[in-house]
Amino acid sequence: MNKTLLGIAILGLLTLFSSAYYSAPADSRIGYKAPALVLDNSNGLSPLQQHQGETVLLTFWSSADVESRLSNKHYDSLSRIEGAGFIHVSVNLDRSESVFSAIVTLDNLNHSTQFGTLQKAQEKIIKNWRLDEGYHSFLLDESGKIVAIDPDDQQLAKLK
């Protein structure tokens, strides 16, 4: 009986101490570390890795989804304001690279912050970021934790 209690106590202590070193898993919900963003386009670092340590507004959009396209255009214009307080990174999930390129030009978007994806990467992005029911934008703090989903202008203004 004493050995059983001792075993339970030791197991409890091990669980307690190991949980202190456990970091939260990546998840696309508020309060979690953002999932990895792999675009499969051999440009080296992913857009999130390029802006590590900065506040990032990550937008997913498609030309077929009018709301996400308009949100992307709006966030792009806000990010160009001096002292915006965030970097805008945009990921397009169109299947056609030529459509993506044409819309970036047509909407007068910042070419350096717009990224296309290859089809094989899109499925993983949609799954990891929970985009199967619609496109969203994620505000990430300097540590890569999601602090807002589809933030409004007031939330973004507080970053200045």
pLDDT in tens, 125-158: 999 999 998 999 999 999 999 999 999 999 999 9
H or E segment to which residue 137 belongs: strand 137-140
pLDDT in tens, 29-42: 899 999 988 886 65
Domains defined along the chain, listed by start:
25-157 (3.40.30.10)
* pLDDT higher than 60, residue 102: yes
The C-alpha angle with vertex 79 and arms to 122 and 157, in degrees rounded to 5, equals: 115
Give the per-residue pLDDT at 68: 97
Q: What pTM was computed for the model?
A: 0.81
* pLDDT higher than 60, residue 14: no
Instruction: Give the separation between CA 155 and CA 1, rounded to whole angstroms.
Output: 58
Biggest distance spanned by C-alpha atoms of the chain = 75
Instruction: Give the separation between CA 156 and CA 160, rounded to whole angstroms.
Output: 8
